[in-house]
Structure 1
């Protein structure tokens, strides 16, 4: 069985030409520190489908990574997106209009750093969170999550009757 992850992709409709923005997070830790393009992610994490529903996992991971509850809105399952590695990510979307926490408290992970040093260092799972338009997000997101943006654009078009 492939490794499964679940995440929440919040969006908000805008008046600009792109039509919507998404909330994405810059991955923390030394590997991502100096990277921008392809270094952002939907707040998400792994789960065991035999133990937890994908939506429950997505909500849990949102809190673990960002330190705030996901907004209490209706969520739709956008789809399951495969990574080249074989991992599969179930993405849920919800209208994040009005979601603007004063602060985020990022979860952490431990890593041997520098490599082979025997020293363990704690790093934030995420080091930045921001709303960004769809075009910018397409360049910023890791490659395996970019199809979710295309699916969101289709979803929003269907909901509004323009797709």
Structure 2
């Protein structure tokens, strides 16, 4: 059975002028990568868990701050080539959030937000050595045109869905 995840895409502005909050994947494999190394903050939906609740929980776990308590728009479910399905909800926030003390964007999540979620990986590959790395290491606001090449391939259609819906 394919893995099902849920994510929350914060945005301000509408249509092609929108800016979105995306997160750079953490760990040594992604450290020097930029294009195709970013994601909507997301994670696995637990059995019996509501998609919206999972998306908000994962946002908090990955970015270390709660998602704004604002209405969410369901952008749909997006299937990766691997079969994984990601449900994405969009939350429109005021532009004034950007740069404020409540802004979830952060240049270095580990240094500024202790408690962000980590995952254990084998590094270097096939070494047998296991290290804990953050699931995401930073988050940033980018315009939708810039977001497309940054996001992993399976999430690029999310941007088109957001632009069409706003």
Which of 89, 100, 104 lines up with 2:103 in the alignment?
100
> For residues 69 and 86 of structure 1, what CA distance do their matches in structure 2 show?
29
Corresponding residue of 2:82: 85
> For residues 26 and 71 of structure 1, what CA distance do their matches in structure 2 show?
20
Following TM superposition, where does structure 1 have runs of at least 4 consecutive aligned residues deviating by more than 3 angstroms?
101-104
Corresponding residue of 2:128: 118
User: 1:49-64 maps to which residues of 2 (within 5 A)?
Assistant: 50-64=47-61
* Structure 1 SS opposite 2:142: strand
> For residues 143 and 116 of structure 1, what CA distance do their matches in structure 2 show?
26
Whose Rg is larger?
1
* Structure 2 SS opposite 1:65: helix
Corresponding residue of 2:72: 75
Moved more, 37-46 or 108-117: 108-117
> Residues 136 and 102 (structure 1 numbering): CA distance in 2 closer, same or farther, change over 3 Å?
closer
Corresponding residue of 2:28: 30
TM-score, scaled relative to structure 2: 0.86
Unaligned runs of 5+ in 1: 157-163
> For residues 13 and 102 of structure 1, what CA distance do their matches in structure 2 show?
16
Tell me the number of residue pairs that the alignment of Structure 1 and Structure 2 aligns: 153
> How far is the alpha carbon of 1:118 from its aligned partner?
2.6
1:139 aligns with 2:149: yes
Kindly report the root-mean-square deviation, in angstroms, between the aligned alpha carbons of the 2 structures. 1.8
> How far is the alpha carbon of 1:61 from its aligned partner?
0.5
